[in-house]
Amino acid sequence: MQKRIILASGSKQRKMLLESLGIEFEVIPSNIDEKAIRHSEYKSQAENIARAKAEAVAKQNKGIIIAADTFLVCEGKILEKPIDLEEAKEMMRFQSGKDFISYTGFCYLDLENSIDYSKCVEVASGMREMSDEEISKYVSSFDVLTWAGGYSPAYNYGMTLITHIQGSLTALTHGLPMEVLIPLLVKSGVQINPIYI
């Protein structure tokens, strides 16, 4: 019998990655106040947010719970989801031509199999320089309010913004470290069926 798998996130990018595994799952966003969770260490903050998301969903639902949260840090400044298009433009101008680090908190709960796992995946990367005109066009053409830092390399044009990467590819692009998730799913007895989407 198929185990119930829940993605505790409304992220289209995370959903897209899970779909590529050919497994059945539900999307139940936690809707917690992410900004209420703060920590002096970036890695702990990301991990704590992911765990809070997972535990909030686990209170109401049984099954395997997968949760994640991503934010960027550029020159000591935390960049989360912009509140409006102007802030998205400001964030992209700030990141243009600079290196940054993305922090993806990840939590996996399968209490039936005594699996309670969380960590933060840290990825060093950089953005090429962008003109104000290009930034304006990008912000007006993409769903930037749903992405930390106002951009996403999960899509073709977003990929062209990245100059280099050191660390988890899918944590940077989709906010979900698949190299961590897949072994946990296998440990839970979930059959992976790769599909082309």
Q: State the catalytic residues.
A: 69
Beta carbons of 108 and 184 less than 8 angstroms apart: yes
Beta carbons of 139 and 147 less than 8 angstroms apart: no
Backbone region of residue 76 per phi and psi (left: phi > 0; alpha: psi in -120 to 50; beta: other values): left
Strand partners, 124: 101, 166
The residue type found at 18 is L
The residue type found at 16 is M
Q: Name residue, tokens 């509140």.
A: 83
- Per DSSP, which regions of the chain are E strands? 5-7, 26-27, 64-74, 77-79, 99-110, 115-127, 162-166
Three-state SS letters, 95-130: HCCCEEEEEEEEEEEEHHHCEEEEEEEEEEEEECCC
